[in-house]
Amino acid sequence: MTARPMLPDDPTTPLWWGAVVLRLLTLVFAAGVVIVHHDSYARPGLAVVLVGLMAGWTAVTTAVYLRQSGRRLAVTVLDLVVCCAFMTSSLFVLTDAQLHDWATPLLPTIWVTGAVAAGAVCGGPVAGAIFGLVVAGFNYGVRGFADTDLTRDAVLLIGAGFVLGIAARDSRRAADRLARALRAEAATAERERLARTIHDSVLQVLARVRKRGTELGGEAAELARLAGEQEVALRALVTAGPPAPIEDGTADLSPGLQLLATDRIQVSVPATPVRLPAGTVTELVSLVREALFNVDRHAGPDARAWVLVEDLRAEVVVSVRDDGTGIPTGRLEAAEAEGRMGIARSIKGRVSGLGGTVVLETAPDSGTEWEVRVPR
């Protein structure tokens, strides 16, 4: 036998229980109203039958709503349709005088509020308000008139659906934030454990190779340089925070840039996450990688580079600066004329596509600095 997939806990389960209890209590009230007005109805026998059907539907919805698999908007819409049908049945049970007298409640009375509660918990504040509006509309339609008391009931139905929907929506959001926080905590703990392990083994070996290779010189010095680069890159990997989970299509810019750090490249980012649309983060990381690649190719063998990220709320500023040979005057224009469009397409094109601005400051033997500003 195949096991059924486990559903995650529904944070709105207490609200569903509340909706079920409300349905049960209002059913008892509706039955009491029928008993009180039984002798004055146009068709008292039909009233008893309809109350029995209401009890049956209450049992069905109770069984459905107490299971997570049954908490669907389509089910709540069906519930609303059934409740409105019971409201319409008052036309066949009440006398004309009772229909036009608000003091005599319609057959289901406040039992129909259970459908509004279910719709609000399932669909949120907008759905809750719409469910309340529909029930209020049927109340007007069956009565055939509108007055202050019916309008008061309409306001209460719409308001209650809206407020209950807000509670359900916020419960789901709070549960989602808690789950993300727990996952991030677990990931951070695992990352720290790996960082300790790597520090006690791999990093110490690389540091030893770098030190000993430098002392020996010659070809060993080249191995020492490579070991040093890998040591810096590995330290950046284990010290950079784990990529924050994408939320509403956004991601943190900092981790992707921190992984670009080497012994010649320093990356400075804010202590707090720099959240941007996920596509923007991808483009900015690619842009910085291209700028650093140009430093490695053109700025000279000893050039160093610095990457700085500033979060100014309204915009994010990313600066890439090096202390290399700089770009000679007219070099970029000549490269574009020769058909080499690396800078124009990789940097300027990306920034333009993001709706931002880019400023280049360079001079021979004075290094190069790119300043990219991307609005939020």
pLDDT of residue 3: 43
Specify whether 172 is located in the same domain as 254: no
In a domain, 3, yes or no: no
Domain boundary among 154, 177, 200: 177
Q: Counting Cβ atoms within 10 Å, is residue 46 exposed (0-12), middle (13-18) or buried (19+)?
A: middle
By the 8 A CB rule, do 118 and 19 touch? yes
Q: Are residues 165 and 255 in the same domain?
A: no
Residues 299 and 375 in one domain: yes
Nearest-CA neighbor of 266 among 210, 308, 212?
A: 308
User: What is the structure's pLDDT at 330?
Assistant: 64
Same domain, 20 and 159: yes
CATH number of 267's domain: 3.30.565.10
- 277 & 146 share domain: no
**Does 142 share its domain with 256?**
no
Give 52's contacts (C-beta < 8 A, 6+ positions apart). Answer: none
Verify that 46 and 162 share a domain, yes or no.
yes
In the prediction, which pLDDT does 260 show? 84
Residue 229 lies in a domain: no
CA atoms within a 13 Å half-sphere pointing along the CA-CB vector of 108: 28
Residue with tokens 């910085």: 288
CA dist 102 to 93, 97, 144, 365, Å? Answer: 15, 10, 11, 90
Is residue 281 one of the residues assigned to a domain? yes
pLDDT of 6: 45
**Do 356 and 263 share a structural domain?**
yes
**Whether residue 30 sits in one domain with residue 148:** yes
How many structural domains are present in the chain? 2
Give the span between the Cα atoms of 272 and 241, in whole angstroms: 10
Query: Does 73 reside within a domain?
Result: yes
In a domain, 200, yes or no: no
Compute the distance between CA of residue 83 and CA of residue 122 in angstroms, rounded to an integer: 17
Asked if the structure places residue 231 within a domain, the reply is: no
Domain span at residue 306 reads 244-376
Look at residue 202 and tell me if it is in a domain. no
Cα separation values, 39 from 44, 48, 100, 105, Å: 7, 11, 18, 15
Query: What 3-state class would DSSP assign to 320?
Result: strand
Residue at a domain's end among 128, 160, 177: 177
Contacts for 333 with CB less than 8 Å, ≥ 6 apart: none
How far is 374 from 376, CA to CA, in rounded Å? Answer: 7
* Whether 173 and 263 share a structural domain: no
Separation of CA 287 from chain center: 26
Say whether both 170 and 260 belong to one domain: no
Work out whether strand 305-311 and strand 315-322 pair parallel, antiparallel, or are unpaired.
antiparallel
Q: Report pLDDT for 338.
A: 57
**Low-confidence residues in the chain, pLDDT < 50:** 1-7
Examine residue 192 and state whether it is found in any structural domain, yes or no.
Answer: no
> Between 13-37 and 113-123, two packed helices, what is the crossing angle to 10 degrees?
170
Instruction: Give the residue from 177, 196, 223 where a domain finishes.
Output: 177
- First-to-last C-alpha distance (Å) of the chain: 52
